[in-house]
Chains A and B, each alone.
Chain A
Amino acid sequence: MYSTALNRPVLTDTFININKRTIRWGEFLIQSGLALCALISIITTAVIIIILCKEGFSFFQHIAPAEFFFGTRWVPLLEPSSFGVLPLVWGTLLVTFGAALIAIPIGLASAIYLSEYASHKVRSTVKPVLELLAGIPTVVYGYFALTFVTPLLKTIIPGIQVFNAFSGAIVVGIMVLPMIATLSDNALRAVPQTLRQGAYALGATSYETTTQVVLPAGLSGVMASFLLAISRAIGETMAVTLAAGATPNMSLTFLESIQTMTAYIVQISLGDAPAGGLAYQTLFVVAALLFIITLMLNVLSQWILNRYREAYD
């Protein structure tokens, strides 16, 4: 059988030429077009970083970094001016901490319910609703805080100010909750079914299986969702500007008006400071600080995801 195939005469008249390499211009154009589009976002990011660095650098030629980073008074527009950024950082941390305190337990509980307990029908109803919540414009949340949450708080705590950190923390918490719930749900559902079965086969209850096997196995994804939500809360602007006000303040309570870094940027961008002055430059240096904080959180969450991801096949 094989010998017949080998003994077949070579057909010289049907020579197949494979030396036909040419440049395919259409292919080249499409490839360069796609690369250019990808480049646009990279260039934009680079330009933003360069501008932030440049303006920040000239700011620090007038103001000592120590005063900026450790000063506790933020009065950029009035004389005598003072450029201690801590009140803005404090305002941001206060709102973020409050938001995390609300969003992390509720978000994680929702994720556990959705991935481990809810029937298919319930999950397919609840998840789109959660995603809808994530799609509401943030200014609506701010408005909601001002016209609904704050009056409600006032009935419980009469002394609360019209603009206060509490109300801001609550709405930012509600805002990042779907993010935690959705991302944590995905992380838990990525835990292989065989692990759950292994636990059940040892006589574990649903609760034991969830808290002691599934949650530890999906922990890296859950932690990453927390960090991304915190990073989002730190960068959140409109809701906190509307809810928490514009008073740089190192208040320990949630009841007074504060100002976050983002709210300050809004205030200045709306025209409170003449272009080119020192107050104008504070815009960039605060933005740079904000950028560095959120960047660090995002890098950290990526690192946690990669470092602690268990290799399941």
Chain B
Amino acid sequence: MSAQLDEKLMIPGQREQAANNKPAFAEESILNLDQVNIYYSGKAAIKEVSFPIAKQKITSLIGPSGCGKSTLLRSLNRMNDFIPEVTMDGLFTYNGQNLNAPSVDPVEVRRHIGMVFQKPNPFPKTIYKNIAWGPNINGYQKSLDELVEHSLKQAALWDEVKDRLHESALSLSGGQQQRLCIARALAMEPDILLMDEPCSALDPISTAHIEDLLFELKTRYTIVIVTHNMQQAARISDYTAFLESGELIEFGVTEQLFTMPQKQRTEEYVTGRFG
């Protein structure tokens, strides 16, 4: 199972290299899902899903509404812990460790696997404190001023807010708020950044801003993004997982999945015949 997926992870050039007895892994995977099931009150929302998440790449999860992609995303940093009805089995391996083992501290998991939500959710604090809060409670020792500036620059928001850092974050526009939430997540220097339809509440110009931003970020971070927008997935991601009714229909290199899908269902979805 795993070997088959690793093969799909390879881009064509690397496939040839692999054939020439080069290392079989095209990418280093940071997080691995193996036979994952997620249940809502006993009813399966995700069924037997397995795929790897490649380090410092963007992986997008696509599929029609209700296919379970957000539920799956939330299981990657233990956010489903807050929904008592949710149970799961299968193996989530993060850096070689079982993410759901009893000895794992979910708070520690979320320090390293950050999340940006569908709707911008800045805290009702100043712009500065929104960024500084996470590092602060986690005992960040170095200069917070520098960290705030660096994070806002990474999120392409610095120039717009540098003169009003101590104003309420709620005074920002929706697009700015979402970039603030991205900056807030980046300030934690996460290993993986999970994004749950981060552009769905935004106008096209703000969306373009955030997509540009993701291009920049992928050189330094591993990003997993849930999106409803297939063009977005095709534009920004390296790997794509297509889910339908809780099942993984197809996983592969984005370009291949969109241009030469292996499954008919995938082809129908990516060409807009349903969903």
Which of B79, B112, B119, B185 is the one whose CB lies under 8 Å from A200?
A: B79
Contact surface of B with A, Cβ cutoff 8 Å:
77, 79, 82, 84, 107-108, 110-112, 114-115, 117, 119, 121-125, 133-134, 137-138, 170, 181, 184-185, 188
- Are A199 and B79 interface neighbours, CB within 8 A? no
Chain B residues near A311 (CB-CB < 8 A): 170
A213 to B138, alpha carbons, bound, how many Å? 15
Q: A197-B121, A216-B124, A311-B170 are contacts. A202–B184 as well, Cβ < 8 Å?
A: yes
A204 CB–B CB distance under 8 Å: yes
| Given contacts A203-B108, A311-B170, A198 and B123 within 8 Å (CB-CB) | yes
Determine if B82 and A310 form an interchain contact, defined as CB atoms under 8 angstroms apart.
no
A131 within 8 A of B: no
State whether B185 touches A202 (Cβ < 8 A). Answer: yes
Q: Is the CB of B119 within 8 A of A204?
A: no
In the complex, which of the residues A192, A194, A196, A202 has the most CB atoms of chain B within 10 Å of its own CB atom?
Answer: A202
User: Are the CB atoms of B121 and A192 closer together than 8 Å?
Assistant: yes
Q: How far is the CA of A92 from the CA of B181 in the complex (A)?
A: 49
In the complex, what distance in Å separates the CA atom of A119 from the CA atom of B83? 11
**B-facing mask of A178-204, CB < 8 A → 1, else 0?**
000000000000001011111111111
Task: Tell whether A203 pairs with B138 under 8 Å between CB atoms, given A194-B121, A195-B121.
Answer: yes
Quick check: A201 and B115 within 8 Å, CB to CB?
yes
Cβ–Cβ contact A204 & B137, under 8 A: yes
The smallest beta-carbon distance between A32 and chain B, in angstroms, is 44
Query: Can you report 16 A-B residue pairs in the complex whose CB atoms are below 8 A from each other?
Result: A194-B117, A195-B121, A195-B123, A197-B79, A197-B117, A197-B121, A198-B122, A201-B110, A201-B114, A201-B117, A202-B188, A203-B110, A203-B188, A208-B137, A212-B137, A310-B124
Residues of B with C-beta under 8 A to A310: 124, 170
How far apart are B212's CB and chain A's nearest CB, in angstroms? 23
The docked-state distance in angstroms from the alpha carbon of A212 to that of B123 is: 10
- Chain B's nearest CB lies how many Å from the CB of A220? 10
Min CB distance A78 to B, Å, is 57
**In the complex, which residue of chain B has the Cβ closest to the Cβ of A209?**
B137
- Evaluate contact between B121 and A200: CB separation under 8 angstroms: no
What 0/1 readout, one digit per residue, does chain A (92-128) give for beta carbons within 8 Å of chain B?
0000000000000000000000000001000000000
C-alpha spacing A98/B125, complex, angstroms: 33
Chain A: interface secondary structure? helix
Interface centre among A119, A200, A205, A213, by most B CB within 10 Å? A200
Q: Does A217 contact B (CB under 8 A)?
A: yes
- What A residues does B185 contact at CB under 8 A? 201-202
- Which A residue sits closest to B168, measured CB to CB? A310
Nearest residue in A to B135 (C-beta to C-beta)?
A202
Alpha-carbon gap, A205 to B133, bound state (A): 13
Question: Is B134 within 8 A of A204, CB to CB?
Answer: yes
* A195-B123 Cα distance, complex, nearest whole Å: 6
B134 contact from A195, A202, A217, Cβ within 8 A: A202
Contacts of B112 in A (CB 8 A): 203
Nearest residue in A to B122 (C-beta to C-beta)?
A: A198
Contact with B along A283-313 (1 / 0, CB 8 A): 0000000000000000000000000001100
Chain A residues with CB below 8 A from B82, complex form: 196-197, 200
Q: Looking across the interface, which residue of chain B has its beta carbon closest to that of A194?
A: B121
Q: Is the CB of B77 within 8 A of A201?
A: yes
Which residues of the other chain, B, contact A216 by a CB distance below 8 angstroms? 124-125
B33 to chain A, nearest CB (A): 19
Structural contact, B133 and A212, CB atoms closer than 8 A: yes
Q: Give Cα A204 to B136, complex, Å.
A: 10
B141 CB → nearest A CB, Å: 16
Chain A residues whose CB sits within 8 angstroms of the CB of B125 once the complex forms: 216
CB distance from A124 to the nearest CB of B (A): 14
CA distance A285 to B21 in the complex (A): 99
Q: Which of B111, B117, B133, B184 has the most CB of A within 10 A?
A: B133
Given A202-B134, A212-B133, A217-B124, do A194 and B119 touch, yes or no (CB 8 Å)? yes
> In the complex the two chains form, what is the Cα distance from A104 to B77 in whole Å?
37
Instruction: Provide the bound-state CA to CA distance between A200 and B125, in Å.
Output: 16
Knowing A203-B134, A310-B124, A311-B170 are in contact, say whether A198-B117 is a contact too (CB < 8 A): yes
B82 to chain A, nearest CB (A): 7
Question: Which residues from chain B contact A212 at a C-beta distance below 8 Å?
Answer: 133, 137
Give the distance in Å from the alpha carbon of A194 to the alpha carbon of B137 in the complex. 19
Residues from chain B with a CB closer than 8 A to the CB of A197 are 79, 82, 115, 117, 121
Query: For residue A192, which residues in chain B have a CB less than 8 angstroms away from its CB?
Result: 121
Q: How long is the Cα–Cα vector from A310 to B82 in the complex, in angstroms?
A: 25
Complex CA distance for A201 and B190, rounded to whole angstroms: 11
Chain A residues, CB < 8 A from B117: 194, 197-198, 201
Q: A200-B79, A201-B77, A203-B108 are in contact. List 17 more A-B contacts (CB 8 A).
A: A119-B84, A194-B117, A197-B82, A197-B121, A198-B184, A200-B110, A201-B79, A201-B110, A202-B111, A202-B133, A202-B138, A202-B185, A203-B110, A203-B134, A204-B137, A216-B124, A217-B123
